[in-house]
Structure 1
Amino acid sequence: MLKAIAIDDEPMALEVVKSHAAKVPFIELKAVFTDGIKGLEYLKENNIDLLFLDIKMPDISGMELAALIPKETMVVFTTAYSEHAVKSFELDAVDYLLKPFHLGRFLKACQKAQELHDLRYDTKSGSVFIKTGYDQVKVNFEELLFCEANGNYVTFHLSDEKLLSRMTLNEVENLLPKGFVKTHRSFIVNSSKITKIERHQVTLTNKTAPVSSTYFEAVLEKIN
C-alpha cells in the first residue's frame, strides 16, 4: 500500500484525484491540500510514499515545492500544461499526467510508482536500492557494516565504500532486516559484523561505531 497525498490549488482537480485514487487498491490517499505550503508541512511531518502535485499554483509552484519535499517521496505531476514535462523528469518525477486524465492513465502512473517502491524496498532479496544523487544504487545487506545519520542524510558504510543518501535514520531502520541493531541515536549496525563490543563502542571488521548507554543492553541481547 502506497500512502499518498495530493496538492492542487483547484478543488475540482483534487476531487478527480480522490475519485481515481479510491479505485486503485494499493493507493491510500491520506490528505489533499489546496495550499502548497500546508502540504509541504504535512510531508515533512509524515511518511508519505507518493505525491500527486500540480505545477502552476499561486504561492509556490509545483517545481519549487518538489525540490523541497523529502527525497523518499515519489512525485507524479498533474498539470494542464505540457511544456513542463522535461523539467519534471529532471526532478526525478515518476510520471507526468496531463489534465484532464482518465482513470487508466492515472492507474498507469500509480503502477510505475508501486514498481519503483518495490524496487527500493525489497528486503527479501537481501538488498535494497537507495538514492544517491541522481542514481539508485543497490546495497547488499551482507556488505553493509553500519549506517550513520547526520542531519537529513545517512551514510551507508560498506566494506569498501561509503554511500550518502538523503534519508532519516528511522526510514533506514524500516528498510533493514532483523540482523541490524541500533547502537546510538545516530547509528544502526549489522550485528553479524560485530567482532568486539565494549561499553562505549563496537568494532565491526576494521571500523568502529559508538554505543550509548540507552542501547547497550539491546546490543548485547542482539549479539547473544
Structure 2
Amino acid sequence: MKLTAIAIDDEPVALAVIKNHAAMVPFLDIKGYFTNAFEAIDFLSREKIDLLFLDIKMPDISGLDFLSSLPQPPMTIFTTAYSEHAVKSFELDAVDYLLKPFSLIRFMKACNKAHNLWQLKQQSVLVKEAPDYIFLKSGYEQFKIVLDDILYLESAGNYVNFILKDRRLISRLSMQEATDLLPVENFTRVHRSYIVANNKIERADRTSLYIKNIPIPIGAAYASLVDKLLG
C-alpha cells in the first residue's frame, strides 16, 4: 500500500521539483498539486491523505496557519526557503522541514521518515482492532473467553487447562496450539507446561512466578524469556 500525499506551493516551479523527486519514491502516490491553498482545503474535505508537502510562505495563508486550521491534519513535511520557521513547524508535529533548494536524497530521507511513521501507525491500528477475546472449545461447546480473565494455562497431557479469574476450562489442545491462540504481547510461555498472562504476575523468585499466590515453575529453557518479561 502506498503513502498518499498532496503538495501545496504557490510557485509552480517548486511543485515541479516535488513532482520530479516524488516519481523516484516507490511508496509515494501524489494525488494532487496545488498552487492555491484554499483549493487544497476543499480537496482535503473530500479526500483522506496520509502526507502533506506544504510551503510556508504563501500569499493568502501561511503554511503554518493552514496546518493549524485542519481539524485532523495529515503528516506534514514543510518545504520552504526560510529557516526561521523550523521551531514552530515542529511544534505542529511536522515530520520534517525541507529547506529549498533540497536534493533528491534529502527529499527521500524526509519521505522515509514519514513512511516509517505511517507504518507504525498502521501497526498500532491493527493492535487496537485485534479482538480482546477468543473462542475455546471445551467438550461439545464453544466458550467465549475474555483475554483479561485468563490467569494462566497448564498442560494436562493431551489437554490444556485455562485457569480464569472465576473458573477453569479444559480443552483438547497442545501447548503450541494454545500458544498460537493467544496474543504474544500479552502471554508468555514460561515452562514446557505453563503459559502465563503477563499482567497477572504478582511476584517472582529464581524458580517460580506467582499468580494469586500460586507458584508457576520457570523452565530452564524459558529462563531468558522470563528475564526479558520481568525486565
Superposition TM-score tier, normalisation by shorter sequence? 0.5 to 0.7
1:137-172 Cα offsets, whole Å, 9 max, x none, are xxx7639xxxxxxxxxxxxxxx9xxxxxxxxxxxxx
Kept in 2, the 8 Å contact 1:44–1:69? The answer is no
In the TM superposition, 1:124-135 aligns within 5 A as: 126-127=127-128
Residue in 2 aligned with 1:13? Answer: 14
Residue in 1 aligned with 2:68? Answer: 67
Is 2:105 aligned against 1:104?
Answer: yes
Report the Cα distance in structure 1 between the residues aligned to 2:131 and 2:100, rounded to whole angstroms: 42
How far the C-alpha of 1:121 sits from its partner, in A, is 1.0
Report the Cα distance in structure 1 between the residues aligned to 2:28 and 2:49, rounded to whole angstroms: 11
1:105-158 Cα offsets, whole Å, 9 max, x none, are 000110111111111111686247xxxxxxxxxxx7639xxxxxxxxxxxxxxx
Kept in 1, the 8 Å contact 2:9–2:58? The answer is yes
1:172-215 Cα offsets, whole Å, 9 max, x none, are xxxxxxxxxxxxxxxxxxxxxxxxxxxxxxxxxxxxxxxxxxxx
Q: Name the count of aligned residue pairs.
A: 133
Is 2:132 aligned against 1:142?
Answer: yes
Query: Based on CA coordinates, which of the two structures has the bigger radius of gyration?
Result: 2
RMSD: 2.0
Kept in 1, the 8 Å contact 2:67–2:73? The answer is no
TM-score, normalised to structure 1, is: 0.56
Letter in 2 for 1:14: L
Q: Which ranges of structure 1 fall in alignment gaps of 5 or more residues? A: 129-139, 144-158, 160-224
Letter in 1 for 2:46: E
Residue in 1 aligned with 2:122? Answer: 121
Residue in 2 aligned with 1:42? Answer: 43
Change (3 A) 1:124 1:89: closer
Report the Cα distance in structure 2 between the residues aligned to 1:142 and 1:69, rounded to whole angstroms: 33
TM-score, normalised to structure 2, is: 0.54
Q: Which ranges of structure 2 fall in alignment gaps of 5 or more residues? A: 134-147, 149-231
